[in-house]
Structure 1
């Protein structure tokens, strides 16, 4: 405060403290003034479904994904070969029970489709719900197949 003028000042400092095996704290660097952290100015781009995909195709893909991810945790590698090319997805914990698809986004990608989807599973042993994120590339050659995972 200078006379009748009041000014608020805030500063940020960095201190490094070491804790030894006995729980004692030791200051290893003295307080050093640093720039104040600020919020990042980043907005995530909202991904949307491709408007070129008709409702019938979207429904087919959804049915395939639901059926596949119900079957996937308990499937053997031999059974997975029918749905997946080139070991695209590794086997999961067989204690997982499929619950639902979360925010599926479908985009046309050449002759196939790019799918971004969350899969909600319940671990029946631990009674915990997990969401696994997948980015898949699908094609239809008689039946639907997953040809890549990102």
Structure 2
């Protein structure tokens, strides 16, 4: 008897690869979101803080200059009046010395002790003070440029003198002031040698148009001094020239120059009037833009 043996093929078992389940890691994700939001919030805060600080600084600088200039001018005026006024007698000089203590440092009081003595033959009175400049050296110190006019009397002789000086004032944090540099000879601005370029019509406006404008300007400037706003509206656009309501009598258009630019006519004109109150002849100068729609009209001042 034959026994039939059957072999069963062995199947290789596939081993399962171990896996790790990745969860949401809620704690880690939350921490990262908090870090991101904190960074953004800090950046926004720094940005707005920087802008606010800058704006505040600029505002403080502007206000400081305006307020200090007025106070410095008043303080300087009082000091200058006391410093440049004297009489050659002991009582008056003692009073002057005492008054200057309110303005000068102790060092400057000693320095100026022998400026005016009883043996000098002059008296001085301050007639006027003119300020030319108050310049900030730094936060607390200011240079003051001024002219003082004095009436100097010596026996029966009187003369007026003008002198230019600069002094330095210290302003402390409580806005109290003291003179820290004596008035020192200086110079004030004088007449400039500048000469403006002489203007003349450049030929861009033809003869016919020139005649029309001449006629228009004479008509307008005759009525201009006494015209009201409604009357001016026929000649002037958008109230470019305001009513003056003056008692001026028109004499002439003494000079005029015309130029064409971008469809408009620019005019430089000098007009003479007789002032009926002062009886003087006054010459007024205007720079205007003119346009012609139906009639000529002044559109604006240059």
Which range, TM-score by smaller chain?
A: 0.7 to 0.9
- How has the CA–CA distance of structure 1 residues 39 and 134 changed in structure 2, closer, same or farther, with 3 Å as cutoff? closer
Per the alignment, residue 124 of structure 1 pairs with 276
Q: After the TM superposition, which of the residue ranges 68-77 and 21-30 deviates more from structure 2? A: 21-30
The answer to whether the aligner puts 1:80 opposite 2:220 as a matched pair is no
Per-residue CA distance 1:81-109 (angstroms, 9 max, x = gap): 11111110111233111111122111112
Could you tell me how far 1:125 is from its partner in structure 2? 2.5
The equivalent position to 1:45 in structure 2, one of 197, 205, 213, is 197
Higher relative contact order (CA 8 A, sep 6+): 1
- How has the CA–CA distance of structure 1 residues 41 and 69 changed in structure 2, closer, same or farther, with 3 Å as cutoff? closer
Greater share of residues in helix: 2
Mapped partners of 2:204, 2:198: distance in 1: 18
Tell me how large the CA RMSD over aligned residues is.
3.1
Per the alignment, residue 258 of structure 2 pairs with 106
Greater share of residues in strand: 1
Per the alignment, residue 125 of structure 2 pairs with 24
Residues 227 and 245, structure 2, Cα contact 8 Å, conserved in 1: no
Normalising by the residue count of structure 2, what TM-score does the alignment of the two structures yield?
Answer: 0.39
Residue segments in structure 2 that go unaligned for 5+ positions in a row:
1-78, 87-123, 127-149, 151-164, 168-181
Normalising by the residue count of structure 1, what TM-score does the alignment of the two structures yield?
Answer: 0.75
Mapped partners of 1:122, 1:104: distance in 2: 19
SS at structure 2 position matched to 1:48: coil
Residue segments in structure 1 that go unaligned for 5+ positions in a row:
1-16
